[in-house]
Structure 1
């Protein structure tokens, strides 16, 4: 399927909500964590399957709809609508009978070509991927929360794509993959995972409702109109997107090499040799490699970069606050419960081909430590900080997590997908998405970068 290939929608149906939500969940207000994400782009994930498991396509579609209905019966807010309440200034997920009566939009489509051509390409076709995702952007409230598109590839080797779009104000990555796991369980006949919890009062804050309203006024001052945040309105088509996979052996090598560099540093005269560094976590190790590799690629002499010896580089990443709040929030909590963190280091240190990863690791670990000690510090301003950094030429951000088992959670009845991707038309240059990969304990890296930097980045990640 080339960029110019047409995707034809052949049917639009609705997947009904099988069970009415209890009365206390008919109006779920956006929390102070949710409110940040109201004007941002939806979470969009594409699942490519090289074959259909031998099922005829109408039966496959009916199976998808049936299992989706079972999943949203438990995750009822996904069938609701984001709605503005002028009398209070709140935005709620409206799960009242009139709001959920339409169910969830389900598009059936066809495309020329074969899924394998897309799933096997290291550098993916952004326009082609976007056409396999249902549209969910809404200029004003009320707005739907979830849409699904199933696309059959006709001709060639066939295959199926399932595109899922969810409004970011309703859930974060942790919650998204819990929903996908529940959908997979329904499709495969596995026992259902633990039931989700939707009650926003689980987030204890002395002025939770007031803070949420203040953030809404700041982020979406023209409610019920929605304006996509300018800081993320940058076409992905201006960049390239590449997907790499690091297997468990490669990840172990990266961690061990970081420790070896530490030991070499401690052996140098005049250094503190009393403290032995432990192996970094997979997130810290891979993020350090990614960040330093981007900075190194951008500092190549022919790009005219790296001349400023005092330049600072920043990495934005998101941390889950569930276990860090007081009292902690249960892992089953369904919604947003993340905040941004910023690591900072000298660009010239990160651009060191050998030791840049070590400098990156130290900076990321400092930012993690600061978050663990003060998870809610400067909460009202963190998105302003991130927005300012996005507009800087050295911006790098890592989203999602290697803990998200994207492939295992997307078996929708005929096997795990051959490719899972985060797809966006507004991802900035420097955005990197990390998830669990196809193989056990592997990590998938999807990076959005300028074409002139992509190959240097790729070689550094694979060869360091």
Structure 2
């Protein structure tokens, strides 16, 4: 009975994961692997945070005009635990948390400005903790930009703090529908992350994609 219950739970979680967009999936995958690649000894109930931006232009009342060229981004901070992310269902668990946080932000009845103030305060309150920051979007096509010098060969994001863990997502230069991930970590963590990433891709294919 316990085994059957676990299988049903996995199917439910897996369906929720596959219903998400590319950004949500990559956020989940990146956060799980960044925790697993960190060699520090951390207790299971240690909070782990993930910060990313959500596009809220569709929440304006009245709606924004079609020719609006600006943006309206809210910072979302999700919380899980180290033990959860290291567990066998870490990917599915964090995907569910991220999906819930996005829906809560986008579907909120509060005004945009109320949400903006709260989102900044939430980020600042947790900034000193174990946090991964995710920027960019799979919709950003930097390789399609040409200012007269030709299109870029390689795009990278630079930040000035070695202690930060930052992932930046953009549209792939080579593959249609692909996502390019820029990773900012210390050299030691980068090497560990690369090894865990390769192994994680194989595990994810076996545990999720084969269930479809």
Aligning the two structures, in what range does the TM-score lie when normalised by the shorter sequence?
0.7 to 0.9
Could you list the per-position Cα deviations for residues 59-115 of structure 1 after superposition, in whole angstroms to 9, with x for gaps in the alignment? xxxxxxxxxxxxxxxxxxxxxxxxxxxxxxxxxxxxxxxxxxxxxxxxxxxxxxxxx
User: Which runs of 5 or more structure 1 residues have no equivalent in the other structure?
Assistant: 1-264
Alpha-carbon spacing, 1:270–1:290, altered in 2? closer, same or farther (3 Å)? closer
Distance 1:456 1:379, change over 3 A: same
The DSSP-based 3-state class of the residue aligned with 2:142 is coil
User: Which of 387, 411, 418 is equivalent to 2:153?
Assistant: 418
Matched, 1:343 2:84: no
Query: Which segments of 5 or more consecutive residues in structure 2 lack a partner in the other structure?
Result: 201-212
Q: Distance in 2 between matches of 1:271 and 1:358?
A: 10
1:399 corresponding residue in structure 2: 135
- Over 3 Å counting, the alpha-carbon distance change for 1:333 and 1:422 in structure 2 is farther
Q: 1:272 to 1:296 in 2, by over 3 A?
A: closer
2:124 corresponds in structure 1 to 387
* Deviations 1:424-460 (CA, angstroms, capped at 9, x unpaired): 3257511111111212222111122233322221222
> Structure 2 matches for 1:263-412, cutoff 5 A?
268=6, 271=9, 276-277=15-16, 278-298=18-38, 300=39, 303=40, 305-306=41-42, 308-330=43-65, 332-352=67-87, 354-374=88-108, 376=112, 377-392=114-129, 394-408=130-144, 410-412=145-147
Q: How many positions carry a matched residue from both structures?
A: 192
CA RMSD of aligned residues (A): 2.7
Does the aligned pair in 2 maintain the 1:322–1:331 contact within 8 Å?
no
Alignment partner, residue 453 of structure 1: 189
Larger strand proportion of the pair:
1
Give the TM-score, by structure 1 length. Answer: 0.38
CA distance in 2, matches of 1:427, 1:415: 32
Over 6 Å off, 4+ runs = 272-275
Measured in 1, the distance between the counterparts of 2:78 and 2:125 equals: 14
CA offsets per residue over residues 314-369 of structure 1, 9 Å max, x none? 111101111122223246423341110111112111123x5322122111111111
Secondary structure class of the residue paired with 1:421:
coil
Note the C-alpha offset of 1:414: 5.1
Q: Which of the pair has more CA radius of gyration? A: 1
Which structure has more helix as a fraction of its residues?
A: 2
Do the aligned residues in 1 keep the contact of 2:143 with 2:173 (CA within 8 Å)? yes
Contact 2:163/2:186 (8 A) holds in 1:
no
8 A Cα contact 1:432 1:446, kept in partner: yes
| Residues 116-160 of structure 1, C-alpha deviations (whole Å, 9 max, x = no match) | xxxxxxxxxxxxxxxxxxxxxxxxxxxxxxxxxxxxxxxxxxxxx
Over 3 Å counting, the alpha-carbon distance change for 1:346 and 1:407 in structure 2 is: same
Q: C-alpha distance in 1, partners of 2:197/2:134?
A: 15
Q: CA offset at residue 291 of structure 1? A: 0.8
CA distance in 1, matches of 2:72, 2:162: 21
